[in-house]
Amino acid sequence: MLEDLGVTQLAEFLTAYLGAWPGTPGLHVVGSEVRIRPGWDGRVHDVVGVAGPQTAVISVPPDEAEAVRDRVDSWEQAESILPEALARQDSPVYYGTFRWTYQPADLPDAGIWLPVEDPRVPPWLHPFGGDALITLIGGEYAAGVGIKRHHASGLEISVGTEPEHRGKGLASKLVAQAARWILAQGAIPIYLHDPANVASDRTADAAGFPDEGWQILGTG
């Protein structure tokens, strides 16, 4: 039952995030108005793709969809062909690990929610807006989570820990705590990271975000 709910929430988010999520096998290139509107940070993210085990969607501005569809036949081809198809040879494609969960790890809470304007919240969390989830040790910031509010159906977690407080499990506890809060809002928690980032990989695993082989792509 929980798994069915999670998959439904994920499909709803991906449809809003990309413009479509057919759920049928193969690569789908979608021209979406979402790609010409400001995202969570006020910037336009004009090329975004997500691939699951069987389905992949690359979302681009509507007027570029035909050119991409004609040139890119598979998810794996995107890295080498997408920049040329978009006439942006100086914009390399990057891939990231895309994780989500409907059942975060049962870890103890490690933080409190504070408005980003609070003086104890460090500058890196200010662009997220709203409230940030913060661990304070001795009254000082030790670790924190910002929420990328992509859409009401899906919220992305970003986490950072001060060097002197790493290795204590704070990041995974904060991520699991934030995921429970996101689920309580009726949304699906999302966690993205560079595949080479071993620390993020461990944090995601410990927080209950399994690596199901999903990927995300964008352009630099």
- Tell me if residue 174 falls in helix, strand or coil: helix
**The sheet that has 215-219: what strands, in order across it?**
26-31, 55-60, 48-51, 215-219, 93-100, 188-193, 154-161, 140-151, 131-137, 112-115
Q: What pLDDT, on the 0 to 100 scale, is given for residue 4?
A: 52
Q: What pLDDT, on the 0 to 100 scale, is given for residue 6?
A: 54
Two structure tokens written together for 55:
């389905």
Mean pLDDT, all residues of the chain: 95
Condensed to tens digits (0 to 9), the pLDDT of residues 61-72 reads 999 999 999 999
Q: What pLDDT, on the 0 to 100 scale, is given for residue 122?
A: 98
Residue 124 DSSP code: G
Q: How confident is the model at residue 5 (pLDDT cuts 50, 70, 90)?
A: very low
Residue 55 pLDDT exceeds 90: yes
Two structure tokens written together for 161:
């820990």
Residue 2 pLDDT exceeds 50: no
Distance CA 157, CA 89 (A): 31
Q: How confident is the model at residue 8 (pLDDT cuts 50, 70, 90)?
A: confident
Q: How confident is the model at residue 26 (pLDDT cuts 50, 70, 90)?
A: very high
